[in-house]
């Protein structure tokens, strides 16, 4: 008979199981991500699931790891019926319940009892060992899940929903334009969820923006770093260029020209660091500047793919995520933002490429200033 009943965390991969060829790589990346938080000797990866040592901190860390469909705190036992009974007994003693169900699964097809027989056996076991309990298969207050594998069995009462998605950093890297607003942090998190590692790009314009602005950015990136372990922020002092663009003859185009300039700079940085995509928190038609014409005119300057995970989101949907990942509280703090300061009263909502180009021709030093800025970027590293 076993001496003590061991608890573990059982982690299920979910969507990963669909990915035939790449599966090994995904599992490898998931292990790396787990190791950011959990001691590597406490993790065991299997083909279709993983186990790690049970602890409150290990359990908590799973809230930041994408690529997990669900997890459970499980009791591990031998496959010996008497040993499983001990576990079932312990769980029944520890929990308050009046109705219950047994959900047994025999993965080990050579096991001497079928799943149905196991259900019957443990149903009777509880009924005869505990008073005032009854079976309810449709809406029980406690479910005993019993999984019989080749060497061990796992008994648990709860499926906890995981973060879903793919392991962060399994799909490559993007250079993400981050502001202190609500949208771009959420967009970053959604891209992390699809397996992208995020590097951040932020434009500041001191003295118009100040420490409050940069504190917000730092706090937001610190939160997002939890999902990927480490991050790089490229922070660009954009004051000189902003002032220069401010001299343009058609003031309505200021924001459009600034955005084009942002993406030229973003592309240069991405190319320098071998990053294959640029991303942002843009949404279609949410604010005046986010029209299709605007996207068309701005993306002309950049030949890397521009990912816009929030394009079709309603603001409410974005806010719900911002609250869940806790960036909301930071985003709503008052601080001066580069774009807000610079915006004319009536920015052009339907800019066109020809006019934008003509205005850039007016600003003869623009590209030179952009080239100069590349060698003058603050590179800030974030770690857990
Ligand atoms: P957010 O809430 O992310 O600021 P928004 O709805 O306020 O988005 P805009 O301010 O128009 O929209 O910005 C659109 C996108 O441009 C942002 O999501 C972000 O990706 C990028 N962006 C805006 N300001 C900056 C900045 N100062 N530095 C880097 N990127 C920026
Ligand atoms: Mg904004």
Residue 170's contacts (CB-CB under 8 Å, 6 or more residues apart) are: 25, 26, 29, 30, 67, 195
Q: In the prediction, which pLDDT does 2 show?
A: 46
Pick the closest to residue 73 from 59, 87, 88, 90 (CA basis): 59
Confirm whether 59 is domain-assigned: yes
Span 276-285, pLDDT tens digits? 999 999 999 7
Q: Are residues 109 and 181 in the same domain?
A: no
Q: In the prediction, which pLDDT does 337 show?
A: 82
Q: Are residues 26 and 122 in the same domain?
A: yes
Q: In the prediction, which pLDDT does 15 show?
A: 62
Distance 84 CA to ligand 2 centre (A): 56
The list of the chain residues with pLDDT below 70 reads 1-4, 15-21, 286-288
Confirm whether 318 is domain-assigned: yes
Separation in Å, CA 73 to CA 90, 95, 101, 155 = 14, 14, 18, 9
- Closest residue by Cα to atom 27, ligand 1, is 203
Parent domain of 29? 7-161
Q: Are residues 330 and 269 in the same domain?
A: yes
Distance 339 CA to ligand 2 centre (A): 7
Residues with CB under 6 A from ligand 1: 177-179, 181-184, 201-203, 280-282, 286-287, 289, 338-339
Confirm whether 167 is domain-assigned: no
Confirm whether 218 is domain-assigned: yes
Q: Are residues 336 and 246 in the same domain?
A: yes
Q: Are residues 126 and 195 in the same domain?
A: no
- Closest residue by Cα to atom 17, ligand 1, is 281
Q: Are residues 81 and 152 in the same domain?
A: yes
Confirm whether 2 is domain-assigned: no
Domain-ending residue, one of 161, 191, 219? 161
Residue 147's contacts (CB-CB under 8 Å, 6 or more residues apart) are: 104, 105, 107, 153, 154, 155
Pick the closest to residue 226 from 33, 58, 26 (CA basis): 33
203 belongs to an annotated ligand binding site:
yes
Q: Are residues 126 and 51 in the same domain?
A: yes
202 belongs to an annotated ligand binding site:
yes
Q: In the prediction, which pLDDT does 16 show?
A: 58
144 belongs to an annotated ligand binding site:
no
Pocket test for ligand 1, best of 175, 178, 184 (most atoms within 8 A of CB): 184
Ligand in closest contact with the CA of 259: 1
Distance 173 CA to ligand 1 centre (A): 19
Q: How far apart are the C-alpha atoms of 352 and 343, rounded to whole Å? A: 18
Q: In the prediction, which pLDDT does 1 show?
A: 45
Q: Are residues 134 and 196 in the same domain?
A: no
Distance 178 CA to ligand 1 centre (A): 6
Pocket test for ligand 1, best of 176, 180, 182, 183 (most atoms within 8 A of CB): 183
Q: In the prediction, which pLDDT does 18 show?
A: 60
Q: Are residues 156 and 177 in the same domain?
A: no
Model confidence, pTM: 0.92
Q: Which is the closest atom of ligand 1 to the Cα of 338?
A: 27
281 belongs to an annotated ligand binding site:
yes
Confirm whether 1 is domain-assigned: no
Classify strands 173-177 and 160-164 as parallel, antiparallel or unpaired. unpaired
Ligand in closest contact with the CA of 182: 1
Distance 240 CA to ligand 2 centre (A): 20
Q: How far apart are the C-alpha atoms of 192 and 198, rounded to whole Å? A: 7
Domain-ending residue, one of 126, 161, 196? 161
Q: Are residues 147 and 242 in the same domain?
A: no
Q: In the prediction, which pLDDT does 5 show?
A: 78
Confirm whether 238 is domain-assigned: yes
Q: Are residues 34 and 69 in the same domain?
A: yes
CATH number at residue 271: 3.40.50.620
Q: Are residues 57 and 193 in the same domain?
A: no
Strand partners, 9: 52, 73
- Give the total number of structural domains in the chain: 2
Domain-ending residue, one of 141, 161, 181? 161
Distance 332 CA to ligand 1 centre (A): 14
CATH number at residue 116: 3.30.2130.30
330 belongs to an annotated ligand binding site:
no
Confirm whether 106 is domain-assigned: yes
* Phi, psi values for residue 245, rounded to 5°: -60, -30
């Amino acid at each position: 008979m076993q001496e003590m009943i061991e608890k573990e965390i059982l982690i299920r991969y979910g969507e990963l199981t669909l990915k035939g060829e790449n599966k090994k790589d995904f599992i490898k990346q998931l292990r790396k991500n787990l190791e950011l938080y959990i001691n590597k000797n406490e993790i065991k990866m299997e083909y279709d699931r993983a186990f790690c040592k049970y602890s409150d901190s290990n359990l908590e860390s799973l809230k930041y790891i994408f690529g997990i469909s669900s997890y459970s705190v499980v009791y591990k036992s031998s496959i010996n019926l008497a040993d499983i009974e001990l576990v079932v007994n312990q769980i029944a003693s520890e929990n308050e319940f009046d109705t219950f169900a047994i959900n047994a699964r025999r993965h080990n097809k050579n096991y001497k009892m079928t799943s149905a027989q196991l259900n019957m056996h443990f149903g009777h076991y509880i009924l005869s060992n505990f008073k005032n309990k009854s079976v309810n298969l449709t809406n029980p207050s406690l479910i005993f899940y019993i999984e019989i594998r080749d060497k061990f069995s796992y008994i648990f009462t709860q499926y906890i929903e995981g973060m879903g998605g793919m392991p962060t950093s399994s799909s490559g890297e993007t250079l993400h334009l981050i502001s202190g607003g609500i949208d771009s942090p959420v967009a970053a998190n959604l891209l992390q969820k699809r397996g992208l590692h995020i590097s951040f790009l932020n434009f500041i314009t001191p003295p118009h923006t100040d420490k409050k602005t940069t504190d917000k950015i730092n706090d937001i990136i610190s939160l997002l770093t939890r999902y990927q372990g480490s991050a790089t922020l490229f922070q660009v002092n954009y004051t000189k260029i902003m002032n220069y663009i401010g001299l343009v003859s058609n003031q309505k185009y200021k924001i459009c020209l600034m955005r084009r300039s942002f993406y030229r700079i973003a592309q240069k940085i991405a190319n320098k660091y071998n990053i294959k995509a640029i991303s942002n928190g843009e949404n279609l038609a949410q604010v005046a500047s986010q029209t299709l014409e605007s996207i068309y005119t701005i993306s002309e300057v950049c030949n890397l793919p521009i990912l816009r995970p929030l394009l079709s989101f309603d603001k409410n949907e974005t806010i719900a995520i911002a609250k869940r990942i806790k960036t909301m509280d930071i985003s709503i703090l008052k601080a001066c933002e580069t774009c807000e300061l610079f915006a004319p009263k009536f920015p052009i909502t339907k800019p066109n490429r020809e006019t934008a180009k003509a205005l850039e021709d007016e600003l003869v030093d623009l590209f030179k200033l952009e080239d100069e800025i590349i060698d003058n970027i603050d590179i800030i590293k974030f770690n857990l």
